[in-house]
Amino acid sequence: MMATCTGTAAVKVDHTVDSIRFDHPSIGEVTVRQDLGLAGEDRDATARLCWDAAFPMAQFLCENPTLVTGRDVVELGAGPGLPGVVAAKLGASRVTLTDLPSELELLRTNASMNGFGDEGGEAASSSSSTVDVAACAWGDETQISRVGKRDVVVCSDVLYGHRADVARALARTMRALVKDDGICLVAYFSREKLMHDLAFFEECGALFRDPTHLTVAGVAEEDKEDLWFFEYRPK
């Protein structure tokens, strides 16, 4: 079964289908799989599914392709990796899809399904973009160093009531990965959990300049208040 989003920033992702498709005139079709199986004790259940900010982030990138075209991009907490694959389709010079070490197989599958990657994890596509997959647990200095500095850091719905130390580690990881003249794009649905996630925004306040509020075409009126979309630049 497959759910489709065509040229809109629809939310409320269907978690009962095994594939999600995003269509936009600028890139055509991107399809990513969800893992509907039960997560084991050593698995992060949230990494198996697309979440509500995935389509708005993908739509925003398609509306603003110059933010990623020809640039080095990393997606943190990528899950199925829809925004990162969209960035590659838009001509990013390199995209690295990251998540916890236990959650990388789905990312490799989805990169390959869309014409990127091979069993080694990286390959050129017809757009000359490359996509690779890497472990990047937030705050892990060794893994952060392996990913390296990037022009653009993408975070799509990666906050969901984390412990304060984990939320702060996410903000610090963003800053460690972004170049001094780069940007971080953060799409976040508050959905009555903002108080649990304040530590992230407080840490961002210490590490980045005041964020620029971004808008995305096609977001339903009932979702606009809950969708926070920011561009952060390092201090």
Backbone φ, ψ for residue 4 (5° rounding): -125, 140
Task: Give CA angle at 220 (78, 186), nearest 5°.
Answer: 30
Whole-number Cα distances in Å, 10 to 3, 58, 86, 158, 197: 11, 10, 16, 18, 23
Sign of CA dihedral 207, 208, 211, 216: negative
Q: What is the number of other CB atoms lying within 10 angstroms of the CB of residue 44?
A: 13
Task: Give CA angle at 200 (197, 203), nearest 5°.
Answer: 145
Residue numbers of the domain that contains 70: 2-232
Return the closest-CA partner of residue 67 out of 226, 216, 203, 218: 216
Hey, what amino acid is at 189? F
Helix residue ranges, H only, the chain: 54-63, 82-89, 105-113, 141-147, 164-177, 194-207, 221-224
Report pLDDT for 122. Answer: 44
Report pLDDT for 47. Answer: 86
Count the alpha carbons within 13 Å of 93 in the hemisphere toward its beta carbon: 6
In the chain, the number of structural domains is: 1
Q: Distance between terminal CA atoms of the chain?
A: 45
Report pLDDT for 129. Answer: 84
Sign of CA dihedral 71, 187, 220, 95: positive
- Per-residue pLDDT tens, the chain, 235 aa: give them: 444 444 444 557 787 899 999 999 999 999 999 998 765 555 566 788 899 899 999 999 999 999 999 999 999 999 999 999 999 999 999 999 999 999 999 999 999 999 996 444 444 444 568 999 999 999 999 999 999 999 999 999 998 878 999 999 999 999 999 999 999 999 998 867 788 899 999 999 999 999 999 999 878 777 788 889 999 999 9
CATH at 127:
3.40.50.150
Report pLDDT for 135. Answer: 97
Report pLDDT for 39. Answer: 53
User: What gap in Å lies between CA 73 and CA 150, rounded to an integer?
Assistant: 6
Pairing of strands 130-135, 123-124: antiparallel
Dihedral-angle region of residue 54 (phi above 0 means left; psi in -120 to 50 means alpha; beta otherwise): alpha
Report pLDDT for 141. Answer: 97
- pLDDT tens digit string along 13-54? 787 899 999 999 999 999 999 998 765 555 566 788 899 899
Report pLDDT for 161. Answer: 79
